[in-house]
Structure 1
Amino acid sequence: MTMEWLWAALALVCVIEGLGPLLFPDRWRLYLLKISQQPSNQLRQVGGVFVVIGVVTLYYLSSH
């Protein structure tokens, strides 16, 4: 059962990540250009926030 949820989550990530370049390729390219110019520490902080949000959400969903 756990592996099914993992594969479903990975599939959902692929769908969500693919929507930007599929629907708005020019805006997506500009967004990536802006992101690539950000300092590494700022990118780490944003990544850390997303990881914490994801872990907390998974914990919440698994306990209900």
Structure 2
Amino acid sequence: MTFQLFMLAIALVLILEGIGPLLFPNKWRRYLNELSNQNQQVLRRIGGALVTAGAVILIIFS
């Protein structure tokens, strides 16, 4: 993977992460509030699912 490709991937992540708070700030705040009130085990499962999904997509398309 080249540095340019890596930076493009980071840029895409930042754009996608910024869409929620940019377009729906009130809903985004409620979502983060609900997420922060979750049990630690639930947060670990969410994180694990996101990492697994990302790894699978990376393997499929690389």
Q: What's the TM-score, normalizing by structure 2? A: 0.92
The whole-number CA distance in structure 1 between the counterparts of 2:53 and 2:10 is 16
Q: Equivalent residue for 1:18?
A: 18
The whole-number CA distance in structure 2 between the counterparts of 1:2 and 1:57 is 18
CA RMSD of aligned residues (A): 1.0
Runs of at least 4 residues off by over 6 Å? none
Unaligned 5+ residue runs, structure 2? none
Q: Equivalent residue for 1:51?
A: 51
Percent identical residues: 47
Unaligned 5+ residue runs, structure 1? none
The whole-number CA distance in structure 2 between the counterparts of 1:50 and 1:42 is 12
Q: What's the TM-score, normalizing by structure 1? A: 0.89
